[in-house]
Amino acid sequence: MKVLYALQGTGNGHVARARELVPLISQRCEIDVLVAGTQSQIHLGFPVRFKKFGLTMKYNTSGGVSYLKSFFSNRPLRFLKDVLSLPVKEYDVVIIDFEAITSYACLLRGVKSLQLSHQAAYWSKLTPRPEPRVWHWELILRHMSPSHYKIGFHFNAYDTFILPPIIRSDVRKLTPAHGAHYTVYLPAYNAATLAQWFKRFPTESFTVFIKEKDFDSTLNCKFLPVDNELFINSICDSRGVICSAGFEGPAEAMYLGKKLLITPIIGQYEQAANAICAEREGALVFKQLDESALPIFEVFFQIENFVKRPWPDYAEGLIECILENAKKGRALDDISALKLH
- Do 135 and 193 fall into the same domain? no
Tell me the three state secondary structure of residue 7: strand
- Do 56 and 115 fall into the same domain? yes
Task: Centre a 10 Å sphere on the Cβ of residue 256 and count the other Cβ atoms it contains.
Answer: 23
User: What is the per-residue pLDDT across 314-327, written as a single tens digit (0 to 9) for each?
Assistant: 999 999 999 999 99
pLDDT at position 69 is 56
- Do 191 and 87 fall into the same domain? no
Bridge-based pairing of strands 30-36 and 50-52 is: parallel
Instruction: Give the span between the Cα atoms of 269 and 122, in whole angstroms.
Output: 11
Residue 174: name the closest of 239, 248, 246, 229 by CA: 229
- Do 17 and 119 fall into the same domain? yes
Structural domain including 84 reads: 2-166+312-327
251: left (phi over 0), alpha (psi -120 to 50) or beta: alpha
pLDDT at position 38 is 63
Task: Centre a 10 Å sphere on the Cβ of residue 329 and count the other Cβ atoms it contains.
Answer: 6
Sign of CA dihedral 135, 162, 8, 331: negative
- Mapped to the 3 state alphabet, what secondary structure does 274-323 carry? HHHHHHHCCCEECCCCCHHHHHHHHHHHHCCCCCCCCCCCCHHHHHHHHH
- Do 100 and 145 fall into the same domain? yes
- Do 61 and 158 fall into the same domain? yes
Q: What is the DSSP string of 43-90?
A: ---S--SEEE------B-TBSBB-HHHHHHH--HHHHHHHHHH--GGG
CA distances from 77 to 70, 74, 265 (A): 15, 9, 28
Instruction: Give the span between the Cα atoms of 119 and 178, in whole angstroms.
Output: 32
- Do 188 and 224 fall into the same domain? yes
Tell me the sheet residues that pair with 183.
Answer: 207, 241
- Do 78 and 109 fall into the same domain? yes
Instruction: Give the span between the Cα atoms of 37 and 99, in whole angstroms.
Output: 9
**Would you give the end-to-end CA distance of the chain in angstroms?**
28
Residue 261: name the closest of 182, 205, 335, 337 by CA: 182
Residue 241: name the closest of 257, 226, 229 by CA: 257
Task: Centre a 10 Å sphere on the Cβ of residue 266 and count the other Cβ atoms it contains.
Answer: 16
Q: Is residue 332 part of a domain?
A: no
Sign of CA dihedral 284, 190, 229, 320: positive
- Report the CATH number at residue 109: 3.40.50.2000
- Do 270 and 224 fall into the same domain? yes
pTM above 0.95, yes or no: no
Instruction: Give the span between the Cα atoms of 301 and 201, in whole angstroms.
Output: 10
Number of folded domains that form the chain: 2
- Do 60 and 179 fall into the same domain? no
> Cα angle at 66 between 62 and 70, to 5 degrees?
145
Instruction: Give the span between the Cα atoms of 321 and 319, in whole angstroms.
Output: 5
Residues of the chain with pLDDT under 50: 67
- Do 122 and 263 fall into the same domain? no
Please say whether the beta carbons of 15 and 44 come within 8 A: yes
- Do 106 and 196 fall into the same domain? no
User: What is the per-residue pLDDT across 123-181, written as a single tens digit (0 to 9) for each?
Assistant: 999 999 998 888 888 888 888 999 999 999 999 999 999 999 999 999 999 999 999 99
